[in-house]
Amino acid sequence: MRGRPSQGLVLRAHAKVNLGLWVGGKRPDGFHEVTTVIAPIELHDTIEITAVRSGIGIVADRATVPRGSDNIACKAAQCFFRETGIAAGCRISIRKRIPVGAGLGGGSSDAAAALVGLNRLHGRPLSRTRLSKLALELGSDVPAMLLGQPCAVRGRGERLRPLKLPRLRLLLYFPGYPIHTAWAYAELDRLRSRRRGPRRSLTEPRLSPKILAARLRQGELEKAAPMVRNSFEPVVFRRYPDLARAKRLMLEGGCCAAALSGSGSTVYGLMEKGLQDPMAALRRQGFSCIGTSSI
């Protein structure tokens, strides 16, 4: 997240894609065990934070953005003031460009930006460790978005390890509707419970972030492609076949890999440098995409 001082503070809250997402069974705390590689991308929201005497206000340029305490950035501000004991408030203005409910981490990134921005505005009273603990209270993706660089994520999102990745060319397809993460997890659990024998979560090959990152750094995209798979795809694609078709068209159009990001609804394609961009072919099939890159 890059910021500049003004009357308040302006930051970029970057979206992400999941380069592979393995979902295991439920943990004793009720969360699922996951392994994924999170890569921040150029697409971003713009967050402006202004200090005020009291209260927390949320302003956004899109009607789809929740207001008040339903907004995760507002919850982040509440956590910050509670943790620090600072008797003050803030106004958070969100210029929204990351679609809501898209699996791109927009809300999580906004929350992370709110934590970082408030900490800067008030003289950095919280250490990185304390900020990370607050981030995990807000959501499983928030600690990774707080880190702001490619990373391997394990557990429920609390175990992070920074990774070195090359700049990746990406194609994003957002269908115009959200997918609720709670629904996706519940459907995945139901699908697995109906299967006899070992649960699929225990028989699927677990993602190796270290190997995936190494292959991407070495430019071995064809070897990396089989690892870019998402445990949510069987349940999400069954209900939303247009997303399965988008993935198929990306692969047929020249993307070396394609997958659902998070629990959806965005499908992304990974493109090799110098090869044909499949965006025009997808548009002819009724799939409007945008091009971006990792950072």
Q: What is the CATH number of the domain that holds 89?
A: 3.30.230.10
Active site residue 141: yes
Give the pair of three-digit tokens for residue 39: 């890569």
Q: Which domain holds residue 183?
A: 169-293
Number of domains, the chain: 2
71 and 145 in a common domain: yes
**Is 247's pLDDT higher than 80?**
yes
The pLDDT assigned to 205 comes to 67
Alpha-carbon gap, residue 167 to 70, rounded angstroms = 35
127 and 199 in a common domain: no
192 and 152 in a common domain: no
28 and 127 in a common domain: yes
Alpha-carbon gap, residue 236 to 243, rounded angstroms = 8
> Which of residues 162, 195, 220 is at a domain's end?
162
180 and 157 in a common domain: no
212 and 143 in a common domain: no
Residues in the chain: 295
Q: What phi and psi values does residue 126 have, to the nearest 5 degrees?
A: -105, 135
> Which of residues 143, 162, 181 is at a domain's end?
162
The pLDDT assigned to 281 comes to 83
153 and 7 in a common domain: yes
Is residue 83 within 8 Å of 130, Cβ to Cβ?
A: yes
Average pLDDT for residues 128-155, to the nearest whole number? 96
Q: Of 75, 96, 110, 141, which is the active-site residue?
A: 141
CB neighbour list of residue 241: distance below 8 Å, 6 or more residues apart: none
Alpha-carbon gap, residue 7 to 9, rounded angstroms = 7
CA-wise closest residue to 134 among 123, 146, 151, 117 = 146
144 and 27 in a common domain: yes
DSSP secondary-structure letter at 198? S
233 and 155 in a common domain: no
Q: Tell me, what CATH number does 201's domain have?
A: 3.30.70.890
The pLDDT assigned to 175 comes to 96
**Is 106's pLDDT higher than 50?**
yes
Alpha-carbon gap, residue 262 to 6, rounded angstroms = 34
The pLDDT assigned to 6 comes to 42
Q: How sure is the predictor about 200, in pLDDT bands with cuts at 50, 70 and 90?
A: very low
**Is 201's pLDDT higher than 60?**
no
152 and 11 in a common domain: yes
The pLDDT assigned to 150 comes to 98
Q: Of 16, 75, 96, 247, which is the active-site residue?
A: 16
**Is 211's pLDDT higher than 70?**
yes
Alpha-carbon gap, residue 246 to 253, rounded angstroms = 10
Q: How sure is the predictor about 8, in pLDDT bands with cuts at 50, 70 and 90?
A: confident
Active site residue 45: no
> Which of residues 121, 141, 162 is at a domain's end?
162
Give the position of tokens 């302003």.
59
What mean pLDDT is reported for the chain?
Answer: 92
255 and 142 in a common domain: no
The pLDDT assigned to 273 comes to 75
Q: How sure is the predictor about 278, in pLDDT bands with cuts at 50, 70 and 90?
A: confident
Radius of gyration of the chain (CA): 19
What is the reported pTM? 0.91
CB neighbour list of residue 150: distance below 8 Å, 6 or more residues apart: 37, 38, 39, 40, 162, 163, 164, 165, 213, 294
CB neighbour list of residue 70: distance below 8 Å, 6 or more residues apart: none
89 and 27 in a common domain: yes
**Is 226's pLDDT higher than 90?**
yes
Average pLDDT for residues 53-72, to the nearest whole number? 93
Write down the number of H helices and E strands in the chain. 11, 11
Average pLDDT for residues 72-95, to the nearest whole number? 97
**Is 198's pLDDT higher than 70?**
no
Average pLDDT for residues 266-291, to the nearest whole number? 86
